[in-house]
Amino acid sequence: MKNGLLVLVCMILAIGTCGGPLLTRLYYNNGGERIWFMSFLSTAGFPVILIPLVISFLRRRNRNNSGNIEKTEIVLMETPMFIASIVIGLLVGLDNYCFAYGLAYLPVSTTSLIVGTQLGFNAIFSFFMVKQTFTPFSINAVVLLTAGTGILALRGGDGDRPADVSHEEYVVGFLVTLTAAVLYAFILPFVELTYKKVRQEITFTLVLEMQLVMCVAASCFCIVGMLVEGDFKVIPREAREFKIGGSAFYYTLVVMTGIVYQGLFLGAIGVVFCASSLASGVLISALLPVTEVLAVVCFQEKFQAEKGVALLLSLWGFVSYFYGEFKSGKRIIDKAQLQETELHPLPVSVSVIA
């Protein structure tokens, strides 16, 4: 059952990782300018989490009724987990703003390459926070991903900067996007650490409750920013002036909120629950090249030699990390089999001489 759940959340994460940046860029390319609004949409689809929660409660109630249990109680998270979920949610809101800010001034392909560095930072944070083992392969991945980002930084946006973006805006967008990658790399092991430290049994229902609290906290954080910037007054005008039509404006928002970005968040946290924070980071990094190709095809973005080198280094880093994890896993399996053989030796056939 857990393997099936892992496949499902991986599919949801794939849709969110590839579709989110493309839809956000579509919004900006057609006249949208509200950064806080875009960051709010990243978690605004949280009411969808209520559906599996209600289904889980109803199944539990039916199971309890069949077992002649008089009272059915809803399993709720305890106070430490609730507080941790709020803190993580606020960090998620800040990360969503940084990511939306970067996409406003950078091409999707460049943003994806920068976000790809989250795998290296994820490995570092996982090592210190959840005692994830470092290998030469993971160290190599960190170095390669850092080098790829450095190549993009040295380029300085020459030939890559959108026509309506100044050099200063491009540099700030680059740094803010890098901040988003680092922050996201911190959030994933933070979630895994919360799972390990709380005294409650971590069930799928409890994970959904935690996600609901995080999404509500992140959405409230972004709503405050929207109120300060006056986004609610401007959104109707943006819809009327949207270059591809007002109906397309609202269709984009619905798909972005209900399917894409909510899928990205739920998928990432779901992979952490089923596997680990590093597994979630690896899958996101593996999907970024797909996003880059789609960005070049959909928006005719330029793909200079520097981007090609950075992409090659990112893929090399990903393969290095994945191969290291494969070797480590194989070593653990072989050791377990050896121990089992020593505890339960095979019977030796003995010939009996009559």
The radius of gyration computed from the CA coordinates of the chain, to the nearest angstrom, equals 23
Q: What is the pLDDT of residue 228?
A: 95
CA–CA dist 55, 30 (Å, integer): 39
- Closest listed residue to residue 17, CA positions, set 145, 111, 101, 83: 111
Please, are residues 241 and 68 in contact by the beta-carbon 8 Å criterion?
Answer: no
pLDDT tens digits for range 178-211: 999 999 989 989 998 998 888 888 888 888 899 8
The one-character DSSP state at 134 is P
- Please state, in angstroms and as integers, the Cα–Cα distance from residue 100 to each residue in 27, 35, 280, following that order: 11, 6, 21
The one-character DSSP state at 159 is T
Q: Take residue 260 and report the two structure tokens written for it.
A: 């894409």
- Please state, in angstroms and as integers, the Cα–Cα distance from residue 83 to each residue in 16, 73, 145, 229, following that order: 27, 22, 33, 28
Tokens 């249990």 belong to 69
- Closest listed residue to residue 194, CA positions, set 204, 202, 184, 182: 202
Q: Which residue has the higher pLDDT, 238 or 251?
A: 238
Mean pLDDT computed over every residue of the chain:
79
CA–CA dist 125, 190 (Å, integer): 9
CA–CA dist 219, 39 (Å, integer): 8
- Please determine, for residue 233, whether its predicted confidence score (pLDDT) is greater than 50: yes
| Distance linking the first and last C-alpha atoms of the chain | 54
Please, are residues 126 and 306 in contact by the beta-carbon 8 Å criterion?
Answer: no
Q: Take residue 118 and report the two structure tokens written for it.
A: 């989250």
- Closest listed residue to residue 292, CA positions, set 17, 29, 13, 9: 17
CA atoms within 13 A on the CB side of 226: 20
CA atoms within 13 A on the CB side of 93: 25
CA–CA dist 33, 43 (Å, integer): 19
Q: What is the pLDDT of residue 323?
A: 79
pLDDT tens digits for range 117-154: 787 788 788 888 887 777 787 778 777 777 776 776 66
What is the pTM (predicted TM-score) of this model? 0.81
pLDDT tens digits for range 58-103: 877 777 666 544 444 455 788 889 999 999 999 999 999 999 999 9
CA–CA dist 335, 324 (Å, integer): 17
Q: Take residue 243 and report the two structure tokens written for it.
A: 């270059």
Please, are residues 46 and 212 in contact by the beta-carbon 8 Å criterion?
Answer: yes
